[in-house]
Structure 1
């Protein structure tokens, strides 16, 4: 669902501020949990991911 946006953020992650980099780590941990079948707080995921996209000026997918 968010794969293309995740790839764009990954390509630009070196431009993240220290605070946003910490949020990016959280996002990646949430993705790992989701892949393992664990529940995540999707609203938190979306909020943090949206803020990272805005910070990097990355085009967001339609689900954000």
Structure 2
């Protein structure tokens, strides 16, 4: 898939665990693990908003498109 998720990099940069992010966003750790692995087929705007809020980033920091 040409859309890449960079959740793993952001978590390392912020020294945050997946479980901590799940607690802070209210999202399940299982769903976040799917995003982190790059296996997601869709992403809700509410999920993206929660990630950006808790990671203090922009959507372009989480997602990139590579042809």
TM-score range, shorter chain: 0.3 to 0.5
- Which is richer in strand? 2
TM-score, normalised to structure 2, is 0.42
